[in-house]
């Protein structure tokens, strides 16, 4: 029989936040896109046919969770993935759905 210990409050909150991030279709699309390379907000909006304001809002949410990171080049900010573990969860979920 496996020994399951109770999760501490911080771990429980962090895990819940990750799944919250992955529960939104827009955020899933953005994270999936960022697996390829870094993108600017405009590139993400154009590629995924989203409103720039929506993309900015979702990137801020993902950045606060440290799932994406940014770098500035002149006046343009580029975003890239910042947590390969969460992207592995996303890849596994996509793989699971595509192979049912």
Domain boundaries, the chain: 9-99
For residue 56, what are the CA distances in angstroms to 16, 19, 52, 79? Answer: 22, 20, 6, 10
Digit-by-digit pLDDT tens for the chain (100 residues) are: 565 789 899 999 999 999 999 999 999 999 999 999 999 999 999 999 999 999 999 999 999 999 999 999 999 999 999 999 999 999 999 999 999 8
- CATH 2.40.50.100 for domain 9-99: no
Distance between CA 23 and CA 54 in Å, rounded?
16
Location of structure tokens 């992207």: 87
In 22-83, which ranges are continuous DSSP H helix?
25-33, 41-48, 52-64
> pTM of this prediction?
0.87
The DSSP call for residue 2 is -
């Amino acid at each position: 029989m496996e020994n399951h210990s109770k999760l501490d409050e911080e771990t429980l909150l962090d895990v819940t936040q990750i799944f919250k991030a992955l529960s939104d279709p827009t955020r899933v699309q953005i994270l999936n896109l960022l697996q390829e390379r870094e993108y600017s907000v405009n590139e993400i909006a154009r590629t995924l046919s989203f409103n720039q304001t929506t993309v900015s809002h979702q990137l801020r949410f993902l950045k606060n969770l440290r799932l994406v990171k940014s770098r500035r080049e002149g006046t343009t900010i580029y975003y890239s993935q910042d947590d390969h573990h969460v992207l592995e969860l996303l890849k596994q979920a996509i793989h699971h759905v595509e192979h049912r």
